[in-house]
Chain A
Amino acid sequence: MNNTKTTDLILVPKPEGLEGEGFFATNLSKVVGLARANSIWPLPFATSCCGIEFMATMSAHYDLARFGSERLSFSPRQADLLMVMGTIAKKMGPVLRQVYEQMAEPRWVIAVGACASSGGIFDTYSVLQGIDRIIPVDVYVPGCPPRPEQIIDGILNIQRLVKSESLRRRDSEEYKAMLNKYGIE
């Protein structure tokens, strides 16, 4: 067996702050960001082939659960992260929009795969050329389908975004202007 002592294991590094006997002082946003980033509950909106790669990511070999996404929520009301995996046709657009609107703030969106990011190889009349035409997207994961390592890299990027987000971002003018651009209240 290797000689790892329990003090060698770092689960999640602690944020910078002032430390002393019996107290630890840091920004509130850092603590909240730390808590949020390591307990993201995703909503897998799996439509096609990327959904099967997501199933491989969730299963034991690549194990998305070790990043905090143990509980997949299929109800948008209880989810933090909307993972759109697969082609979104124009017929499916209103459904995706309704699912996004039902999510409570703070919410993030990751577009997994070429079809969700930009329409992919399906440059046709019936496919929505990228979900960012109807909802705002935070992270794009290219690939057709992306390997599970790429999907995990996308989730790590989301974690980085979540950790560094300011607590006032969702009330700011720029955020409201962006939502208005999409027609979402």
Chain B
Amino acid sequence: MIDLLPSDTKIIPGEENFTKLNLGPTHPATHGIFQNVLTMDGEKIVRAEPTIGYIHRAFEKIAEHRPYYQITPLTDRLNYCSAPINNIGYQMAVEKLIKADIPKRVQYLRVILMELARITDHLICNSVLGVDTGALTGFVYLFQHRELVYEIYEEVCGSRLTTNLGRIGGFERDFTPVAWAKLNKFLIEFPLALKEFEKLLQRNRIFIDRTVGVGAISSEDALAYSFSGPTLRAAGIDYDVRAMNPYSSYEDFDFKIPVASNGDTYDRFNIRQEEMWQSLSIIRQAIDKLPSGPFHADIPKFYLPNKEDVYENMEALIYHFKIVMGESEIPAGEVYHSVEGANGELGFYIISHGGRSPYRLHFRRPCFIFYQAYPEMIKGSTISDAILTMSSLNVIAGELDA
């Protein structure tokens, strides 16, 4: 049998009687593959040594060898539970680089899809948190509604999970009437299910006993560890990229940002619940105020022309050829754009030297940054509390390792 403990597992003098427990890479409760070697004094965790990288797929290296439009499928697989947010965030970063002017309709449609994606990600996190405390019912009921969102994604872009949605400059087609019908059906049926799920867990005595005070982090520590998203807002700091640096017309919408004070698991659960309600409100506002207009920007150098024009028009043929071969003239420069992902500030840093592929593409991944604080958050707790802390942080392995 090969020795699978990392080679740097230290035995510190004074800890010879402590047990070393391997919360290994394949563990049903860790929802992703990362390893924690826990040093335990009986039931209490004294120290945790995390090891990540078990799904390192070298996205940043691949991105240096692909043209800009071929990097969108890579961004899908970062936080695969809410793929549209990653896609749209990357496309907005490239649009910032090429200084494209995006029509209002595109921005509103993007807001609808990003909020839907946020709802699906929070659904997974909260229902799986319920599963880890033993309440499997919520998971089974809420996954039915994720199927409704998958159907909406299929209408818009053709795929369920890894959506590869939209293009640099907008969308490839407008929303069909079937998509609108499915969206309206979702907006009618989902709030009832969410209310039922809330009633199951939010004021449930057992759930409150298991989650209050578990995995707490103070606001100074959260800021020092560069937390973002629901984990930071649970600790008391109201930083939301949608409010601070609004993008894609978020300033037109009226929504609240929930903030809690203790930074423990119960607070994170409640913040994600409230964010789902706020997302539903944003989607309704976007549908009500949706302007008419084109579904893509007028950037013929970067957005593929219609196929009919390609067969008849010389210019369209040349543009089509140049875009597909990756010879569009991307200007040189460096740009950073961040969006509010479901886990926090998801940033895209692109350095372009004018070539076919980016010179350097760096993803600012929120899970990678806040997972550093995990050993400190579980010091002194029991294993069941450590599992709940990890579930409530919503660590997605794809985003952790990239």
- Whether A associates with B in a native complex is yes
Binding site for B on A (CB under 8 A): 45, 47-49, 52-53, 55-56, 59-61, 74, 86-87, 89, 91-92, 94-95, 97-99, 121-122, 124-127, 144-145, 147
Question: Could you tell me the distance in whole angstroms from the C-beta of A161 to the nearest C-beta in chain B?
Answer: 24
**A92 CB contact (under 8 Å) in B33, B62, B160:** B33
Task: Collect the chain B residues with CB atoms within 8 Å of residue A86's CB.
Answer: 55
Residues of B within 8 A of A53 (CB): 160-161
Known: A60-B140, A95-B26. 7 other contacts (CB 8 A): A52-B161, A56-B146, A59-B144, A92-B33, A92-B54, A95-B24, A144-B162
Query: Out of A56, A92, A98, A125, which one reaches B143, CB within 8 Å?
Result: A56
Which residues 46-81 in B have Cβ within 8 Å of A in the complex? 53-58, 61-62, 73-74, 76-77, 80-81
- Which A residues are in CB contact (< 8 Å) with B146? 56
B100: shortest Cβ distance to chain A, in Å? 27
Residues of B within 8 Å of A125, CB to CB, are 58, 61
Residues in B neighbouring A89, C-beta threshold 8 A: 53-57, 401
Q: Complex formed: what's the CA distance from A77 to B57 in Å? A: 29
Given contacts A48-B80, A56-B143, A125-B58, contact A145 B161 (CB under 8 A): yes
Q: Is B294 an interface residue (CB 8 A)?
A: no
* Residue B13 interfacial (CB < 8 Å): no
For this complex, 25 residue pairs linking A to B, each with C-beta atoms less than 8 Å apart, are: A47-B55, A52-B124, A52-B161, A53-B161, A55-B143, A56-B150, A59-B140, A60-B144, A61-B143, A74-B26, A74-B28, A89-B54, A91-B56, A92-B25, A92-B54, A92-B55, A94-B4, A95-B4, A95-B24, A95-B54, A99-B26, A121-B73, A124-B57, A124-B61, A126-B57
Contacts of B192-213 to chain A: CB distance below 8 A:
none
Shortest distance between the CB of A89 and any CB in chain B (Å): 5
Q: In this complex, what residue of A is CB-closest to B154?
A: A147
Of all chain A residues, which has the CB nearest B77? A49
Contacts of B18 in A (CB 8 A): none
Q: Which residues of A contact B1 (CB under 8 A)?
A: 98
| Closest 3 pairs between A and B when the two form their complex, measured CB to CB | A59-B143, A49-B80, A74-B28
Known A-B contacts A56-B147, A60-B144, A95-B25; the reply to A49 vs B398 at CB < 8 A is yes
Whether B323 sits at the interface, judged by CB under 8 Å, is: no
What separation, in Å, do the CA atoms of A86 and B55 have in the docked complex?
9
A145 to B153, CA, bound (A): 14
CA distance A60 to B127 in the complex (A): 14
- Residue B250 is within 8 A (CB to CB) of chain A in the complex: no
Report the Cα distance A60→B1, complex, angstroms. 39
- How far, in Å, is B161 (CB) from chain A's closest CB? 5
Residues of A within 8 A of B398 (CB): 48-49
| Chain A nearest CB, measured from B394 CB (Å) | 13
State the CA gap A160–B113 with chains docked (Å): 41
A21 to B214, CA, bound (A): 65
CB of B397 within 8 A of chain A?
A: yes
Chain A: which residue is nearest B74 at the CB level? A121
